[in-house]
Amino acid sequence: MDAAARAEISPSADQFVVTATSGPWPGFKNNGAVDPSAEVFLRGLYADASPDELADLSLDDLTALGHDLWSWRSERKPDEQLVRIRRGVGVGGRHLDRDILEVVGPDMPFLVDSVMGELADEGITTLALFHPVAPSNDGRGKDSLIQIHFQRLSAQRAKTLVDNVRSSLKDVRAAVADFQAMRQRMLAVAEELQAAKANASREDVAEAVELLRWLAADKFTFLGARDYAYHRDASGAYTSEEPEILCDTCLGVLRDVALYVLRTSDEPVTLTPELNACIAALKRTTSR
C-alpha cells in the first residue's frame, strides 16, 4: 500500500462513523438519526481496517461493502445464520476484482476459525477479513457479522464453499449449545469411575479421575459425545458385531447419528472374532 493509501486510514473511528453515516448509505440510520447498533458495527469494521486489509480498497469501498452486509443482516430471522458469496462492489458501484464471503448470525465461539478452516480446506487465500459484532435486532445477545475477501471463484466452487460453510456452522451451533451438557457428562463419568469396583489399582483409577476432571475444567474443547451399547445374550456373548448408538445420549456434532468420526463405515470398529477372543482373554486376566 502506498503512502497516500496508508494516510487514508489515519482518521479516527469517530471520523469514520461520521463519514459513513452522512454519506449515501441510509441503512446506517434509523428515522434520520444514527442507528446505535450500526455505530457499533462501523466501529468494529474500522478496528479491523489495517493497511493490509485495505490493500486495493479505499475507506469508502469498505463502507459500501459494510453497508451491503449491514442491510443484508436485516433479512435474518431470529437464531438464523445466513451465508452467501457475492461479487465485490465498492463505492459508486465500482467492481472489485474479488469475491466476498459473508456470514451473519448469533455471536458464538469458533465461528471465524470454522469458516477459515473451510477456506483452507479449499485452498483459498484470503485478501481481507472483517469481523464486527453488533447488538441483535431483537435486543437479545449479539450478532456476528463476518466478511472475508478472496480471489474470484467459479460458480460451482462458490456453491461448494457456501454449502461447506453452512455445514460447518451447523456443527458449531450444536457443539456450543451442548457444551455444558458434555462437560457435565465428563464430570459424571469421573464420579462413576471413582465409585466403580475396578480391577485397576487405586492409583491408576485416581489418575484417570483426575485427568477427566482436569479436562472438564476448560482444558478441552467438547465437540460431540455419544454412548454405545454392546448387547449380550444370556451366556454373556455379544449378540451383534456392531454396537447400537444410544440416540438419547448424542450431544454436539454427534447429534447426527449418521455422522461417523472414527471410521467411514461402522463405528466403532466392529467386534470381529479376533477382537472377541482378545476381550475374553483380557477379562480372564483382570478377573484373577
Higher pLDDT, 273 or 85: 85
Average pLDDT of the segment spanning 266-276: 54
Same domain, 271 and 171: no
Examine the fold and report which residue of 177, 201, 227 is the final residue of a domain before the chain moves on. Answer: 177
Same domain, 46 and 105: yes
Same domain, 70 and 52: yes
Higher pLDDT, 260 or 159: 159
Q: If we measure between CA atoms, which residue out of 209, 243, 207, 208 comes closest to residue 226?
A: 243
Rounded to an integer, what distance in angstroms lies between the CA atom of residue 268 and that of residue 245? Answer: 10
Q: If we measure between CA atoms, which residue out of 120, 97, 113 comes closest to residue 176?
A: 113
**Residue at grid coordinates 469517530:** 14
Each residue's pLDDT tens digit, 135-193: 998 878 999 999 999 999 999 999 999 999 999 999 999 999 999 999 999 999 999 99
Examine the fold and report which residue of 177, 205, 221 is the final residue of a domain before the chain moves on. Answer: 177
Same domain, 19 and 133: yes
Same domain, 11 and 145: yes
Q: All 3 cell numbers of residue 25?
A: 448509505
- Structural domain total, the chain: 2
- Give the helix/strand (H/E) hosting 24: none
- Give the helix/strand (H/E) hosting 120: helix 111-121
Examine the fold and report which residue of 126, 148, 177 is the final residue of a domain before the chain moves on. Answer: 177
Q: How many CB atoms lie within 10 A of CB 3?
A: 7
Same domain, 139 and 22: yes
- Determine the pLDDT at residue 6: 44
Decide: helix, strand or coil at residue 145. Answer: strand
Give the percent of the chain with pLDDT over 90: 65
Same domain, 237 and 271: yes
Same domain, 237 and 268: yes
Whether the Cβ atoms of residue 81 and residue 104 lie closer than 8 Å to each other: yes
Each residue's pLDDT tens digit, 234-250: 887 877 777 888 899 99
Same domain, 270 and 159: no
- Determine the pLDDT at residue 52: 82
Which residues are within 8 A (CB) of 285 and not within 5 positions of it... i.e. 6 or more apart?
A: none
Q: How many CB atoms lie within 10 A of CB 265?
A: 9
Domain that holds residue 266: 181-286
Residue type, 176: V
Same domain, 220 and 167: no
Which residues are within 8 A (CB) of 253 and not within 5 positions of it... i.e. 6 or more apart?
A: 171, 174, 175, 223, 224, 259
Taking the whole predicted model, whether its pTM rises above 0.85 is answered as no
pLDDT band at 210 (very low <50, low <70, confident <90, very high): very high
Same domain, 202 and 263: yes
Same domain, 60 and 192: no
Residue type, 261: V
Determine the distance from the C-alpha atom of residue 162 to the mean position of all C-alpha atoms in its chain, rounded to a whole number: 14
Q: All 3 cell numbers of residue 185?
A: 457428562
